[in-house]
Amino acid sequence: MLSKDMTIRNASGFHIRPAQLFTEKAAAFKADITVQVQKNSDQVEVDGKSVLGLMTLGLEKGSVIRITTNGTDAQEALDALAQLVESGFGEA
């Protein structure tokens, strides 16, 4: 199991387009992928391959998430998803 903490960088946060891009990228891997965020005193975890799950997190610019991958291609999945988040999902 691998994980990496990331900060949402794009100005509009994690709206439908970034969520769609994230799930499309995640679906390309066999690894189980989860996204976690701290909400008040609770740790919330959703399936990284679920657009609806990701949208329920309500992530804004500056939100810190933890991407966790587990499976045969876990490292490749984590690297690809981290690169996507770091790129700001291609938004200017």
Give the tens place of pLDDT for each residue, 28-51: 999 999 999 998 889 999 999 999
Share of the chain above pLDDT 70, in %: 99
The pLDDT of residue 40:
85
The pLDDT of residue 92:
58
Q: What's the whole-number average pLDDT of the chain?
A: 94
Contact (Cβ atoms closer than 8 angstroms) between residue 25 and residue 81: yes
Contact (Cβ atoms closer than 8 angstroms) between residue 69 and residue 6: no
- Is 29 one of the annotated active-site residues of the chain? no
pLDDT grade for 87, boundaries at 50, 70 and 90: very high
Q: Which of 4, 9, 15, 66 is labelled catalytic?
A: 15
